[in-house]
Structure 1
Amino acid sequence: MHSLFYVLFHPLRTLNLWLEDDPNASIVDVLYLFTTFSAFGIWLVFDRYQKAVNSAVPFRYAAPEAADPNWHSRVIPNANIRSHLQEPDLLPLQFGGEREYITCFDPANNLHLNSIMADEALSIEAKIKRAKNAQVKWCETSFSERRRVMRSLLRWLVENQEVCARVACRDTGKTLVDAALGEILTTCSKLEWLINHGERALRTETRYSNLMMSYKKSQVIYEPKGVVSAIVSWNYPLHNAWSPIIASIFAGNAIVLKASEHVIWSTEWFVGAIHKCLEVLGYDADIVQTVCCWPDQAEALTRSPLIKHITFIGSEEVGRKVAIAATEHLTPVTLELGGKDPAIILPDTDLQKWASIWMRGIFQNSGQNCIGIERLIVHSAQHDELYDILTDRVAKLRFGSVLAPTREGYINTVDCGSMISNDRFNALEQLVFQAQEDGAKVDIGGKELLHTSCEGKSFFQATVVGDTQPNSRIAQVELFAPIALLIRYDDIDEAITIANGTRYGLGASVFGPHQDLCIEVARELRCGMVSINDFGVFYVSLSQDLPFGGTKASGYGRFGGPEGLRALTNPKAIVTDRWPSFAQTSIPKVLDYPIRSLVRSWDFVHGLTMLLYADGYRARFNGLLQLSKASRR
């Protein structure tokens, strides 16, 4: 405490003595005063420089007209992303020839958004090369410069969150609340994590040395891979695009993002904001490339020798094809292939207390959520009560479009939006019907919802299926739909068996009145992530420091957290001499080539091993004696 007082107040005392021409102010005091205030001045200059270098740079990026709720366009009666084949007049006049196109439309209202030329192999290769050329200079940027990009993007996203949410809603049919939670908050959290902790995850690390190599210093550096790629799904177009982009460029890479054909309209706008940010800050925006193509052209990306890592988010079927294609050049792959996430509800759980969490976990984004709750595994004594609770709440859910054409300034209040398309509706209806045939109880939902005020044909009724058989088809396949499945169990071991009884292993939840028991159950689940008395918090806003990924058919590898960031780099080990002028490696004569005596060399190595690793001081001392004798012979 005395030392702190001296450091803080002695300069002030010295200044006072000096100003009063007091003889007690010695030359030492004056020099101390000068040094202190000089250091303070240097600190102020450095602090202002750091703030200038790291501060966010504002930029503007125009919103698309279709983000306006009162925007109107042509309604496509039977909208499909390949509908240009039946609707040639939807194509711009400058399009022609044999190229294929992607029709972009609002699935909740069937409003035509745009028709975009699909990439072919040659255009994909050209984009990869542009990214590679731009990365050469980008990888030389400092973490401070990359943080400034992240801060600028974060500021823009916060200031333009409503526009971003509306763009996501227009292209997917989701609600503004779902966009705010799944798109905006989560992406802001990712940016904040990179700003605060990204450098720590990638800075050079010093590793431990053992006694034999104590004169060496071991380090690991994380070098950019070069050009990486991400092939992402459509359910969160903003977050699924920005998340791999910001992680990749923070690690010093360039990235080629393949967007889903379903959301290319919004994805191009979201990525365009990143391009604008990079340009304003003086960097080459070519480090971020967007590809949109039909599946038969995707191998131009997955088989490219210039791509050094692939992140894939999507179905198991397509993920397997990506992994196979990547083997041509031994390209590392991170696969996130969805799941069948269970929520185990332990006996005596307060059902009313957690009902809102389960409703959000099941019906957020109309069930199109890779870590959504797909199975509620509930004790037999509470099954019927939970079924009644959910049925009552589901009956009150309002479906619709927040961007349906309305009077000026009015946004529709809806709980659930549309699904991305109606392609799977027949399969979903058949699964629900088959579950009923097997004894399941369905009092609400189970069919396509014919909306009375929205032109879109992509609404599916919120559904509750009770008494679901754990081995039935509906309980084994990923639904990705607004369907709640309730499965009975009689003891906790049975609940764990049911939870582990699918081919998937992405996320899970455990609910119960006693947290210690919940943790015990969580440890028995074969999956990548578990929430206790919560849903999905291993990824949402507060937990970007955690690795995200699964096991079994849910894929392998991790993105998110230090593990995900480091997966986008090449770790390189470097070993140097700790005191190069004092101690360096030399080969003992007894081991030098040509070896003079195999017996002596063996005794030397044997004694060295005993000295370093034998159990007990006596054995180690004997090893030292043997080592000494072998050296003297």
Structure 2
Amino acid sequence: MAIATINPFTGETEQTFEPHSDAEVERRIAAADAAFHALRATTFAQRAEWMRAAAQLLDDEVEELARLITIEMGRPIAGARAEVRKSAKGMRFYADHAEEFLAPEALADPSAVNASAAGTRYAPIGVVLAVMPWNYPLWQVLRFAAPALMAGNTGLLKHASNVPQSALYLDTLFERGGFPTGAFHTLLIPASGVERVLRDPRVKAATLTGSEPAGRSLGSIAGSEVKHVVLELGGSDPFIVLPSADLEKAATVAVTARNQNNGQSCIAAKRFIVHTDVYDDFVRLFTEKVAALTVGDPLDETTDVGPLATRSGRDELAGLVADAVAQGATAVTGGTVPDRAGWFYTPTVLDGITPAMRIYREEAFGPVASVYRVADREEALAIANGTTFGLSSAVWTNDADDEEWFIQNLDAGAVFVNGMTISYPELPFGGVKDSGVGRELAAAGIREFCNLKTIWKG
């Protein structure tokens, strides 16, 4: 894929970029390694000052950045603006809490290990490579970069090739905030260039958010080099609605949960599993609200759903729907590629899904919802867990027993009760099964790329 900004609303190429040469990649790796030795010697207070300054740049430049995100990947402008502000909030969160999260811990009774004192300390590990996707071009990167830098690590970013201007903005952000030169750099390289960087001995670990095949590839390389990885590889999140749920609220939230960011979110609800007693009413409410969404220019403040980020993504989504319909599913609303410029797909609700259909197993990355009728909570759980993914989940119920039962039994990295999945700096984020390994955000996220040292004193 060419490194280029291709406006998904028009399909026109806005700007292209030459990949960095081998010499430039080497220079940037060397700069990151040198910056690590300088950064690790600084205090948490100093790093926090720089982090807050970088966060302020986001707030100051929110309109410019939001427009850039929208032009590069088609996110409606209101959501793009919210992403910039959320990123700044996440940076400040780690500026405020990094020292607390990485504080030394003393063993309460060191005599148990024949010591006068014992415990643990966290230490940074060095240069970390981040391979990041286009769907949240700022937040996805900064929720890694903020904790990594606050821990004293440095970062190299290989961003998605269709958001190069976002990548280049991030290339200078931290240095503008005061961090040492080289503390965070973008590498304009193709996917084929990742292996060389990851195998470099100066690069100590990697994190990737993206497709399952990409995660398996990066994970296998890292494994052969005995390097730590954090992988977030997508999901097919269930949204379970039980008879005691507030149907009006559940249906309203379901529309946002499925169609946020034009449906291109790993944690978007994708499979709506509804008890038969409330199925007809929920589907009616849900379908009415989906059909009422405004599809159009993502720079228009009134637009709910813009184009998909890439033509190939739109075509793949259309193929999933066509396969389901050909095998008996019904598009209750939507199910078409509109006759207009840009990579649009009509917000869709599919009924009558069966295991024979591809969409039963595969992640639909776009504004397409699948609804399933179930007879009881056991059948709901079987469908919810009947996928190789396990990122997040949502359960709508006002029955305390059902609530606890699903929390205990859902195979997912998170369970949201009577709400939609959202990533918060304060809560760990990550999945199980093919959705990945490791965690981002909260205390867990900053500790992923630290060496947990055991300290013993005689």
Interval of TM-score (by shorter of Structure 1 and Structure 2): over 0.9
Q: For the residues of structure 2 that align with 1:133 and 1:284, how far apart are their CA atoms?
A: 9
User: How far is the alpha carbon of 1:122 from its aligned partner?
Assistant: 4.2
Q: Deviations over 1:374-397 (max 9, x none)?
A: 100001222222222222222221
Q: For the residues of structure 2 that align with 1:274 and 1:109, how far apart are their CA atoms?
A: 32
User: How far is the alpha carbon of 1:149 from its aligned partner?
Assistant: 1.3
Residue in 1 that maps onto 2:156:
256
User: How far is the alpha carbon of 1:444 from its aligned partner?
Assistant: 2.0
User: How far is the alpha carbon of 1:436 from its aligned partner?
Assistant: 2.3
Residue in 2 that maps onto 1:419:
308
Q: For the residues of structure 2 that align with 1:470 and 1:486, how far apart are their CA atoms?
A: 13
Match of 2:386 among 501, 512, 524: 501
Match of 2:44 among 133, 136, 143: 143
User: How far is the alpha carbon of 1:273 from its aligned partner?
Assistant: 2.7
User: How far is the alpha carbon of 1:434 from its aligned partner?
Assistant: 2.5
The residue correspondences of 1:602-617 to structure 2 (distance < 5 A) are: none
Q: Deviations over 1:105-154 (max 9, x none)?
A: 22112343322111344432331111101221111110000111122122
Residue in 1 that maps onto 2:420:
535
The residue correspondences of 1:375-386 to structure 2 (distance < 5 A) are: 375-386=271-282
Q: Deviations over 1:546-581 (max 9, x none)?
A: 22111111111111111110111111111114xxxx
User: Structure 1 residues 197 and 399 mapped into 2: Cα distance closer, same or farther (>3 Å)?
Assistant: same
Residue in 2 that maps onto 1:351:
247
Q: Deviations over 1:392-443 (max 9, x none)?
A: 222221222233xxxxxxx452111111111033332232223223332213
Residue in 1 that maps onto 2:205:
309
For the 8 Å contact 1:383–1:486, the answer to whether it is kept is: no
For the 8 Å contact 1:235–1:369, the answer to whether it is kept is: yes
User: Structure 1 residues 427 and 169 mapped into 2: Cα distance closer, same or farther (>3 Å)?
Assistant: closer
Match of 1:558 among 439, 443, 453: 439
For the 8 Å contact 2:252–2:289, the answer to whether it is kept is: no
Residue in 1 that maps onto 2:218:
322
Residue in 2 that maps onto 1:114:
15
Quick one: which amino acid aligns to residue 213 of structure 1?
Answer: V
Q: For the residues of structure 1 that align with 2:316 and 2:18, how far apart are their CA atoms?
A: 30
Runs of 4+ more than 6 Å apart: none
Q: For the residues of structure 2 that align with 1:203 and 1:238, how far apart are their CA atoms?
A: 28
Q: For the residues of structure 1 that align with 2:239 and 2:407, how far apart are their CA atoms?
A: 10
For the 8 Å contact 1:470–1:487, the answer to whether it is kept is: no
For the 8 Å contact 1:107–1:458, the answer to whether it is kept is: yes
Q: For the residues of structure 2 that align with 1:498 and 1:164, how far apart are their CA atoms?
A: 40
Q: Deviations over 1:167-198 (max 9, x none)?
A: 211111111222234x1343133123212211
Match of 1:198 among 94, 98, 105: 98
For the 8 Å contact 1:548–1:559, the answer to whether it is kept is: yes
Say which is worse superposed, 284-293 or 476-485, in terms of deviation.
Answer: 284-293
For the 8 Å contact 1:419–1:458, the answer to whether it is kept is: yes
Residue in 1 that maps onto 2:165:
265
Quick one: which amino acid aligns to residue 130 of structure 1?
Answer: A
The residue correspondences of 1:179-198 to structure 2 (distance < 5 A) are: 179-181=80-82, 183-198=83-98
Q: For the residues of structure 2 that align with 1:548 and 1:412, how far apart are their CA atoms?
A: 30
User: Structure 1 residues 231 and 294 mapped into 2: Cα distance closer, same or farther (>3 Å)?
Assistant: same
Say which is worse superposed, 414-423 or 103-112, in terms of deviation.
Answer: 103-112
User: How far is the alpha carbon of 1:527 from its aligned partner?
Assistant: 1.1
User: Structure 1 residues 515 and 111 mapped into 2: Cα distance closer, same or farther (>3 Å)?
Assistant: farther
For the 8 Å contact 1:174–1:401, the answer to whether it is kept is: no
Quick one: which amino acid aligns to residue 563 of structure 1?
Answer: A
User: Structure 1 residues 401 and 275 mapped into 2: Cα distance closer, same or farther (>3 Å)?
Assistant: farther
Quick one: which amino acid aligns to residue 372 of structure 1?
Answer: A
Residue in 2 that maps onto 1:178:
79
Match of 1:548 among 410, 416, 429: 429
Say which is worse superposed, 411-420 or 337-346, in terms of deviation.
Answer: 411-420
Q: Deviations over 1:263-301 (max 9, x none)?
A: 1112212332323222xxxx4221111012222222112
Q: TM-score, normalised by structure 2?
A: 0.95
The SS at the match of 2:113 is coil
User: How far is the alpha carbon of 1:328 from its aligned partner?
Assistant: 3.0
Say which is worse superposed, 473-482 or 266-275, in terms of deviation.
Answer: 266-275
Coordinate RMSD, CA, aligned = 1.8
Match of 2:190 among 290, 294, 308: 294
Residue in 1 that maps onto 2:35:
134
Q: For the residues of structure 2 that align with 1:152 and 1:498, how far apart are their CA atoms?
A: 47
Q: For the residues of structure 2 that align with 1:240 and 1:337, how far apart are their CA atoms?
A: 13
For the 8 Å contact 1:519–1:532, the answer to whether it is kept is: no
Residue in 2 that maps onto 1:221:
121
Quick one: which amino acid aligns to residue 299 of structure 1?
Answer: E
Q: For the residues of structure 2 that align with 1:400 and 1:458, how far apart are their CA atoms?
A: 11
Quick one: which amino acid aligns to residue 342 of structure 1?
Answer: P
For the 8 Å contact 2:110–2:118, the answer to whether it is kept is: no
For the 8 Å contact 2:58–2:85, the answer to whether it is kept is: no
The SS at the match of 2:106 is strand
User: Structure 1 residues 400 and 154 mapped into 2: Cα distance closer, same or farther (>3 Å)?
Assistant: same
Q: For the residues of structure 2 that align with 1:394 and 1:521, how far apart are their CA atoms?
A: 27
The SS at the match of 2:234 is coil
The SS at the match of 1:246 is helix
Quick one: which amino acid aligns to residue 264 of structure 1?
Answer: P
Q: Deviations over 1:473-513 (max 9, x none)?
A: 21210111100110111011111111000000110011112
For the 8 Å contact 1:546–1:561, the answer to whether it is kept is: yes
Match of 2:336 among 423, 447, 450: 447
Structure having the higher Rg: 1
Residue in 2 that maps onto 1:332:
228
Q: Deviations over 1:498-537 (max 9, x none)?
A: 1000000110011112244213212100111111111113
Q: For the residues of structure 1 that align with 2:182 and 2:87, how far apart are their CA atoms?
A: 22
User: Structure 1 residues 254 and 211 mapped into 2: Cα distance closer, same or farther (>3 Å)?
Assistant: closer
Alignment length, in residue pairs?
A: 458
Q: TM-score, normalised by structure 1?
A: 0.70
For the 8 Å contact 2:232–2:436, the answer to whether it is kept is: yes
Quick one: which amino acid aligns to residue 271 of structure 1?
Answer: D
For the 8 Å contact 2:314–2:366, the answer to whether it is kept is: no
For the 8 Å contact 1:109–1:401, the answer to whether it is kept is: no
> Where does the alignment leave 5 or more consecutive residues of structure 2 unmatched?
none
The residue correspondences of 1:21-100 to structure 2 (distance < 5 A) are: 82=2
The SS at the match of 1:529 is coil
User: How far is the alpha carbon of 1:210 from its aligned partner?
Assistant: 6.0
User: Structure 1 residues 330 and 466 mapped into 2: Cα distance closer, same or farther (>3 Å)?
Assistant: same
The residue correspondences of 1:380-399 to structure 2 (distance < 5 A) are: 380-399=276-295
> Where does the alignment leave 5 or more consecutive residues of structure 1 unmatched?
1-80, 83-101, 404-410, 578-633
User: How far is the alpha carbon of 1:544 from its aligned partner?
Assistant: 1.5
Residue in 2 that maps onto 1:429:
318
User: How far is the alpha carbon of 1:470 from its aligned partner?
Assistant: 4.9
The SS at the match of 2:269 is coil
Q: For the residues of structure 2 that align with 1:442 and 1:223, how far apart are their CA atoms?
A: 53
Q: Deviations over 1:218-260 (max 9, x none)?
A: 1211111111111111101111222222221111011111111
Residue in 2 that maps onto 1:154:
55
The SS at the match of 2:371 is strand
Q: For the residues of structure 2 that align with 1:495 and 1:471, how far apart are their CA atoms?
A: 18
Quick one: which amino acid aligns to residue 255 of structure 2?
Answer: M
Q: For the residues of structure 1 that align with 2:21 and 2:193, how far apart are their CA atoms?
A: 6
Say which is worse superposed, 329-338 or 422-431, in terms of deviation.
Answer: 422-431
